[in-house]
């Protein structure tokens, strides 16, 4: 029964065409014969910055490739599109790939970032009587199902002696969750940057906990298995360009904010806040990182949220193997 429910949930997310396709970002001119690399991205992250700069398109064009970018509201929706065969490369946080692997998505972890626990948080309205995680008992809490913040919420509740069944989860993507939060339809909101920073900036939200001591909040980069096997060179080029963007972003948070504000429609000050508390670097997926992901997978399975046990290391890219 759990498996059926899970598959129904995955199907209710983003199908093969529900990512917002940005056809104008393809780098080839009409008439050129080229192979299209399909990349999924979210509103914030290194891939978003790479898209905005346009450097990847320039480099891949010389090799006969064009890039098609598709925007997704969250990691679960992005990986569902990969499962449907309509994405070659993308990024999410820690929890989405665990659910996706259990659903049979042919993904491979190809890189990660350092932990970034301060960039996700549990928010309540500024004047809310809720002061601690324990106060969430019986309350409505908005979150994106299967995302990083799902794991943060599970961890925070467990530390406070509560279970998911002690609250009323309201599963909504970020834009809908923000509207519900601001309208008072939910009591709390679990969210990541830059939406977190924007909510803080608006002065209507108060933090009762962030990820520190609860969740590492890493960003992961994925390729579909078939794409990685056929185009290891392109995967490495994407990772090289991501490293370049990271070096720039880590040294210029104000510049990052100014650069992304028109792209994202988010206030520069909020984006600067998000950029300053973000950690940067593109790193390999080590055995230690795999062990952390396995812990997340095992916990979701024990909670009955994952339909079957998975072995995370089976989904890690080993170039040439």
- 3-state DSSP call for residue 281? coil
Residue 28 has a pLDDT of 37
Domain boundaries, given as residue ranges, for the chain: 36-115+217-315, 120-210
Helix or strand (DSSP H, E) at 221: strand 220-224
Rounded to 5°, the CA angle 21-24-26 comes to: 90
Residue 262 has a pLDDT of 84
Q: Which two tokens stand for residue 88?
A: 């070659």
Of the CA atoms within 13 Å of residue 247, those in its CB half-sphere come to: 6
Rounded Cα–Cα distance for residues 254 and 275 (Å): 8
Would you give per-residue pLDDT tens digits along the chain (321 residues)? 333 333 333 333 333 334 555 544 443 344 354 799 999 998 888 898 899 889 999 999 999 999 999 999 888 999 999 999 999 999 999 999 999 999 999 999 999 999 999 999 999 999 999 999 999 999 999 999 888 899 999 999 999 999 999 999 999 998 899 999 999 999 999 999 999 999 988 888 999 999 999 999 999 999 999 999 999 999 999 999 999 999 988 888 898 898 888 877 888 999 999 989 888 899 999 999 999 999 999 999 998 989 999 999 999 998 755
Residue 20 has a pLDDT of 54
Residue showing tokens 């450097």: 55
Residue 29 has a pLDDT of 40
Q: In what order do the strands lie in the sheet with 89-92?
A: 20-22, 65-71, 35-41, 89-92, 220-224, 107-112
User: What's the length of the chain?
Assistant: 321
Global pTM value: 0.83
**Fold (CATH) for 120-210:** D-Maltodextrin-Binding Protein; domain 2 (3.40.190)
Residue 299 has a pLDDT of 92
Residue showing tokens 């346009």: 54
Question: Quick check: 82 and 228 in contact, CB under 8 A?
Answer: no
Rounded Cα–Cα distance for residues 112 and 281 (Å): 8
Q: Considering just the CA atoms, what is the radius of gyration of the chain in Å?
A: 19
Helix or strand (DSSP H, E) at 253: helix 253-264
Residue 116 has a pLDDT of 93
Measured CA distances, 301 to 5, 149, 150, 265, 306 (Å): 14, 17, 13, 37, 4
Question: Quick check: 52 and 90 in contact, CB under 8 A?
Answer: no
Rounded to 5°, the CA angle 29-91-9 comes to: 110
Rounded Cα–Cα distance for residues 230 and 232 (Å): 6
Residue showing tokens 């932990």: 115
Estimate to the nearest angstrom the gap between the alpha carbon of 249 and the chain centroid.
18
Q: Does domain 36-115+217-315 have CATH number 3.90.1200.10?
A: no
Of the CA atoms within 13 Å of residue 224, those in its CB half-sphere come to: 20
Residue 320 has a pLDDT of 53
Q: Do domains 36-115+217-315 and 120-210 have the same CATH topology?
A: yes
């Amino acid at each position: 029964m759990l498996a059926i429910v899970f598959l129904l949930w995955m199907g209710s997310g983003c199908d093969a065409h529900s990512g917002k396709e940005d056809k104008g970002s393809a780098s080839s001119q009409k008439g050129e014969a080229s192979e299209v690399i399909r990349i999924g991205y979210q509103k914030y992250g290194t891939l978003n910055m790479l898209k905005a700069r346009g450097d990847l398109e320039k480099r891949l064009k010389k090799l006969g490739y064009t890039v098609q970018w598709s925007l997704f509201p969250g990691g679960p929706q992005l990986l569902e599109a990969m499962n449907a065969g309509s994405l070659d490369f993308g990024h999410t946080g820690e929890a989405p790939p665990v659910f996706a692997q259990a659903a049979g998505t042919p993904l491979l972890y190809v890189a990660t970032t350092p932990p970034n626990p301060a960039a996700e948080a549990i928010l309540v309205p500024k004047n809310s009587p809720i002061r601690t995680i324990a106060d969430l008992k019986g309350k409505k809490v908005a979150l994106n199902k299967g995302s990083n913040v799902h794991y943060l919420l599970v961890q925070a509740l467990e530390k406070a002696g509560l279970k998911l069944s002690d609250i009323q989860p309201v599963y909504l993507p970020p834009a809908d969750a923000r509207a519900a939060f601001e309208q008072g339809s939910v009591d709390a909101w679990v969210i990541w940057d830059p939406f977190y920073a924007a909510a803080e900036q608006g002065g209507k939200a108060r933090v009762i906990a962030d990820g520190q001591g609860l969740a590492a909040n890493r960003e992961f980069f994925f390729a579909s298995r078939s794409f990685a096997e056929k185009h290891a060179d392109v995967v490495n080029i994407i990772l090289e360009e991501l490293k370049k963007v990271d070096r720039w972003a880590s040294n210029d948070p104000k510049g990052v904010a100014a650069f992304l504000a028109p792209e994202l429609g988010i206030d520069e000050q909020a984006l600067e806040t998000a950029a300053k508390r973000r950690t940067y670097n593109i790193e390999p997926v080590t055995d230690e990182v795999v062990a952390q992901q396995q812990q997340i997978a095992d916990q979701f399975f024990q909670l009955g949220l994952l339909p079957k046990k998975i072995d995370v290391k089976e989904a890690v890219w080993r170039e040439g193997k």
